[in-house]
Amino acid sequence: MLVQTIHGRRAMETKRLYLREMTDADLPALCRILQDKDVMYAYAHAFSDAEAREWLDRQKARYKQYGFGLWAVILKTSGEMIGQCGVTVQDAGGRDALEVGYLFCRDAWGQGFASEAAQSCRDYAFRTLRADEVVSIIRDNNFPSMRVAVRNGMLPRGGFVKQYYGLSMPHIVFSISRSEWEALQKSAK
């Protein structure tokens, strides 16, 4: 993970990706993701234009408040925004936790981009934010996201039910502790 400035914005770089703060110019690409019912199945609905705008505004507010949020994931080879991934403060079943979250357009599925971006965000949370634990909160029917969490060194540690648009949605909390992450870093060398 390399944190640098690209086009005036702080960003991270992985082998194939740039992760940077989203701007208003990213709204069309973000809508392509958030308005695809297949991508958004874990949310039980595709977003409207207003919901997509609110989502982007929420990320921009997080950048100002915390210095982090969900970032645009840009494919190096094309400059295309293929998803979003980052660190946010979330309710993990009654406690605040730093969560690595990710959401990618369908064209990017199955190519390892989510794992690559999520690992970079996990490392950012431990190295830069000095987290003791990092979680990914995943709907119980979202098996591809669970696989990404496991590749990210996380294990299922509990669950809770979120109320969302009048629906009860069971979620599983995957997590990795600082000591587990440190052991993972040592074994990778």
Q: pTM of whole model > 0.75?
A: yes
Tell me how far the alpha carbon of residue 37 is from its chain's centroid: 18
Neighbours of 156 (CB within 10 A): 14
Q: Are 71 and 57 in contact (CB under 8 A)?
A: no
What's the confidence (pLDDT) of residue 10? 59
The H or E element that residue 100 is part of is strand 96-104
SS3 state of residue 127: helix
What's the confidence (pLDDT) of residue 6? 43
Per the structure block, which two tokens stand in for 85? 């991934």
The full set of domain ranges for the chain reads 2-188
Residues whose CB falls within 8 Å of the CB of residue 20, separated by 6 or more in sequence, listed in order = 6, 7, 9, 10, 11, 12, 71, 72, 74
Fold of 2-188: Aminopeptidase (3.40.630)
| pLDDT tens per residue across all 189 residues of the chain | 444 444 445 579 999 999 999 999 999 999 999 999 999 888 888 999 999 999 999 999 999 999 999 999 999 999 999 999 999 999 998 999 999 999 999 999 999 999 999 999 999 999 999 999 999 999 999 999 999 999 999 999 999 998 887 889 999 999 999 999 999 999 887
**Amino acid letter, residue 100:** V
Look at strands 17-20 and 70-75 and give their pairing.
antiparallel
